[in-house]
Amino acid sequence: MPALATSWTQRWKRLRSMGGAELADRIRQHFMARADALCYRAGFHFDARGTVAAQTSAQFFFSADAVPALCKLVRERLPAEAEVILSRAERVCRHRFDLLGYEDIDCGTQIDWHSDPVHHKSAPRKPWYQIHYLDSDQVGDSKVTWEMNRHQHLVTLAKAFRLSGDEKFAGEIFAQWRHWHAENPYPIGINWASSLEVAFRSLSWIWTYFLLRDSPAVPSGFRQEWLRALSINGRHIERYLSTYFSPNTHLLGEGVALFFIGLLCPELPTARRWQALGWDVVLRESARQVSPDGLHFEQSTYYHVYALDFFLHAGILANLNHLPLPARFDATLERMLDALRLLVRAGSPPRFGDDDGGRVFDPRRNRAEHLADPLATGAVLFGRGDFKALAGGLREETIWLLGAEGVKEFDRLPEKSSPATSAALPSAGLYIMAAQHTQLVVDAGPHGASTAGHGHADALSVCINSNGRPLLIDPGTCEYVGEDRRLFRGTSFHNTVLVDKRGQSEPQGPFSWTRLPRVQSEGWISGQTFDLFVGSHDGYAPIVHRRWVFGLKSGLWMVRDLVWGEGEHALDIFWHLNAELKEKGNVFADPQGRNSLRILSVENAEWRPEVQSGWWSPVYGRKEEAPVLHFGTVAKLPAEFVTLFVSGAGQVDAGNLTRRNGQQENTKAGVYRYETTNEEHWMIFGGHGESWAVRPWASDAEFVYLGRREEQSHIILCNASFLEVNEKKVFSVPNAVLRCEILVKGPMVEVYCSDQNAVVLKESVEKIWPEGHVPATTSASGGTVS
């Protein structure tokens, strides 16, 4: 009874939060769904019984005459992919399917279109609005059921037929087409329960038709049959548009499908209305769903690419049919591509947020390494050689979308390297610290749009890629139903801090949270030789987690975690590592010696380190073992913990990290020293505008880095007005500067400063390391934090 009461309380609260327009739309949809069920029982036919003379002849991405040439291009330029298409088509003919992360599923002689063949459950055959598709006990995983019913495998069969000429592939298409329609009368069954799934199915039917158009394999009168089927789909999408239910990629995908149906089926009486409505949705959502930085508002890497695919397909089709493309739409597309470019510069992008597992064009290109695909098409559309370089080559999708001329333009476009410069996407909350072939990404954005249904409890999590491979990873999503859903979106499955064994936000069902934490980016400084980020969140209120991330362009990063509050609390920090990496001491390296990550912390008996066997999900529906480095303690707050990461090829040089308390004049500075056989690095975290002293140094800097290697010295000051060594000023300015970097190489001194005119060097900076002085250190376990 308490659970039922809570459910009704939540529903009442949600009902009261609705505006008049939303309430009216939901009431309309409620009664229309029930009216449709009554019409079905009365024998009503829902398709458009009449057609009108087509006013225009709309153009698809390719003409019927162009298909043989495009097939030839696929065979010549992408022979391995052509073979994969034929292989998949062979298996589809045997009713063996790859669905999301589940492979080679046998669906038997007669396909049960209402079943989840992975969990062996079949949804009831009743009006769609009566089916609780998120109830895994009743239907299994509806996402698996829907993946097969998207009919993207029919497109694979059509391509296989055009590539090989084997009529069995075409025969299988029409056999499945007839069987599906017999088994899914409108509005009965789970396959009508999501307007987005109806939209995906519509797009598949459109691609299949245009691949087969004018082929003798197409049965006589099929276009009329196809038009009637799409008229039912269009009617359903328009009536049950996700304007308020899921105003994200659901609404976007539905708009794209309506636009395609309306444009490409001009004989339908409602075609013009659907075309206009669909195009309006696409344009409106391009402005609403994309942040000023170009990232999709779901705060999910996968959903960013998902939405980008929809926008690209709709924009290209509109342009082919001479529909005006607003300049802001083009600008949004390029911003989205640019955001993706930044994330893939060092390899597969971190998979922040949910991994949906589906794709608009090819559902099998759903791993992290496939997320750069849109850059190939974007390279041609925007003449961007940097997009081309990161795409990694021509894509099959680009061939079909842009044709032979698009391929020629791709070939003509010179590749351009993407500079390894750090970047901030502040409205999205992503901060990218770049080094040569390596980068670290900090996630300091909101959980996601609205109820953050596709976001994870990952505030201030970090990921590291190097030389094209992930080192420190986001483990992914695994599934949308079951206990793994809760685990994979929880805080312990991300590279951040857990307090008292509870997440930053607790799940409330599979697509909502009890509350959303406030995440703040408190500072971002990107210099010539370094980057510094500071952020916090209140997910453990009244406790606050603040994280500093300092990075050198050489591939060294320090993560400093401060947990503010009162009392004694359990604290845990997790570092999730690529499954390829093997641990040896505190170095995690791949067997080939291409990549390694050294992870150091100050030796401290209170923080117990342990390498655990954890999980990661390479694609929806799959989970595999991966190492997790875990530090845990019970400590009195405030508490501090520092982790040092050093990336490189093979075994990284041995070294150790120690902590030293401030002395005498001020004891608030957090002081850390990392040294190897030929390097020394000091990192000092001061206060906010307060002076401090750590002999032989003194300053008012919020952060200081002091490094030396052989005859080279390196000084970084942030928010500082002076630096002293043995009570002698080395650096001084009238007012604090945001950053100042001083590099000493023998007699040469280079200075990079946010206010170059303000820099005053009082003494030779060579004296930063007084002759014969080796600052003493202690492996301290306590101390006051700043």
As a residue count, the chain comes to 786
Closest CA to 228 of 51, 417, 26: 51
What whole-number percentage of the chain has pLDDT above 90?
Answer: 74
Distance from C-alpha of 697 to C-alpha of 723, rounded to nearest angstrom: 7
Residue-range domain boundaries for the chain: 324-416, 420-652, 654-786
User: Within 10 Å of residue 427's Cβ, how many Cβ atoms?
Assistant: 15
**625-668 pLDDT tens trace:** 999 999 999 999 999 999 999 988 655 556 889 987 644 444 46
List Cβ neighbours of 116 (8 Å cut-off, separation of 6 or more).
Answer: 122, 123, 139, 140, 141, 142, 144, 145
Q: Give me the DSSP letters along 402-467.
A: HHHHHHHHHHHSPP-PPP---EEETTTTEEEEEETTEEEEEE-S-S-STTTTT--S-TTEEEEEET
Sign of CA dihedral 666, 669, 673, 679: negative
Q: First vs last Cα of the chain: how many Å apart? A: 49
Give the side-chain half-sphere CA count within 13 A for 487: 11
Beta bridge partners of 715: 706, 742
CATH code, 420-652: 2.70.98.70
List Cβ neighbours of 94 (8 Å cut-off, separation of 6 or more).
Answer: none
Beta bridge partners of 714: 707, 743
Distance from C-alpha of 310 to C-alpha of 356, rounded to nearest angstrom: 14
Contact call for residues 473 and 368 (beta carbons, < 8 A): no
List Cβ neighbours of 667 (8 Å cut-off, separation of 6 or more).
Answer: 661, 783, 784
CA distances from 777 to 23, 661, 662, 783 (A): 66, 9, 10, 14
Beta bridge partners of 696: none
Scanning the structure block, which residue is given the tokens 């459109």?
A: 206
Residue 293 three-state SS: coil
CA distances from 336 to 4, 40, 304, 421, 438 (A): 43, 43, 8, 18, 22
Contact call for residues 616 and 579 (beta carbons, < 8 A): yes
**And the tokens for 576?**
């999730």
Distance from C-alpha of 366 to C-alpha of 377, rounded to nearest angstrom: 17
Which DSSP letter does residue 4 get?
Answer: H
What whole-number percentage of the chain has pLDDT above 70?
Answer: 91
- State the amino acid at position 352 in one-letter form: F
Residue 27 three-state SS: helix
List Cβ neighbours of 548 (8 Å cut-off, separation of 6 or more).
Answer: 532, 533, 534, 558, 559, 560, 561, 562, 685, 703
Q: Are strands 692-694 and 115-116 parallel, antiparallel or unpaired?
A: unpaired
Q: Give me the DSSP letters along 470-511.
A: EEE-------SSSHHHHHHTSGGGSSSEEETTB-SS-BSSTT
Mean pLDDT by 10 residues, the chain (786 residues): 45 65 90 93 79 74 97 98 98 97 96 97 96 93 97 98 97 98 97 98 98 94 96 97 90 98 97 98 97 95 97 98 96 98 95 94 94 98 98 97 98 93 96 93 91 93 94 96 93 97 91 92 95 97 97 94 96 96 88 88 84 95 96 94 86 75 54 90 88 88 91 91 86 89 85 78 60 38 28
User: Within 10 Å of residue 327's Cβ, how many Cβ atoms?
Assistant: 8
CA distances from 389 to 73, 424, 425, 494, 613 (A): 21, 22, 22, 30, 36
Closest CA to 112 of 72, 139, 73: 139
